[in-house]
Amino acid sequence: MSEFTHFDEHGRAFMVDVSDKDVTSRIAKACATVSMKSDTYNKIFDKKIKKGDVLGTAQIAGIMGAKRTPDIIPMCHPLNITGVTVEFEPDSATSSIKVIATVKVDGKTGVEMEALSAVSIAALTIYDMCKAVDKGMVISDIKLLEKSGGKSGDFKRTNP
């Protein structure tokens, strides 16, 4: 069990004590992809989805998702996040939208989960707003792209 930091010697879960860790600047970047029918894709960009501005709403939802991460993932520490961006890379050739979130904090623990939560919630919001016209949308490739800061050092995915 020693590989897992959130379990004690009896296998019981606990939140890791970070009180002795140094405060450092930490950044995490994650992404997700939402694939859909070309008609759905076009409706999003032609502002023809009845629920409203899909990407504007998804952007706000992603930011809120990052801020609410410790409320939905049990062992995440509440953090004083200093910045969140949620951006979109549309691809008309594949009728897909890549969601990219970057989260920053000056703290004792990282923001990888907050970045992953942001892209997940933004992608789910796209699905929710478009499901009336396309229930077959697929959310995929949710992954951490990079992170910096902290004791474990930097990480950058080599196959984004």
CATH number of 28's domain: 3.30.70.640
With residues binned 3-state (H G I as helix, E B as strand, rest as coil), the percentages for the chain, rounded to 5, are: 30, 30, 40
Phi, psi at 59, each rounded to 5°: -65, -50
54 within domain boundaries: yes
Q: Torsion angle, CA of 34/39/45/48, rounded to 10 degrees? A: -120
93 within domain boundaries: yes
Tell me the pLDDT band of 4, cut-offs 50, 70 and 90: low
Judge whether residue 11 has pLDDT over 90: no
127 within domain boundaries: yes
Task: Give the mean model confidence (pLDDT) for residues 112-117.
Answer: 98
Each residue of 56-100: pLDDT tens digit? 999 999 999 999 999 999 999 999 999 999 999 999 999 999 999
Catalytic residue among 53, 71, 91, 128: 128
Tell me, yes or no, if 106 is annotated catalytic: no
CA atoms lying within 13 Å on the CB side of residue 27:
10
Report the interhelical angle of 112-130 vs 38-45 (nearest 10°).
Answer: 100
Q: Is the pTM of this model over 0.85?
A: yes
pLDDT of 16:
84
Q: Which of 112, 108, 113 is nearest to 17 (CA)?
A: 108
Instruction: Print the domain residue range for 87.
Output: 24-148
Q: Where are the beta strands (DSSP E) in the chain?
A: 24-35, 81-91, 96-107, 138-148, 155-156
Phi, psi at 88, each rounded to 5°: -130, 140
10 within domain boundaries: no
Q: Where are the beta strands (DSSP E) in 7-95?
A: 24-35, 81-91
> Residue 52 is encoded by which pair of tokens?
């409203």
Each residue of 14-68: pLDDT tens digit? 888 888 888 999 999 999 999 999 999 999 999 999 999 999 999 999 999 999 9
Gap between the Cα atoms of 23 and 8, Å rounded: 25
Judge whether residue 122 has pLDDT over 70: yes
4 within domain boundaries: no
Count of domains forming the chain: 1
11 within domain boundaries: no
66 within domain boundaries: yes
44 within domain boundaries: yes
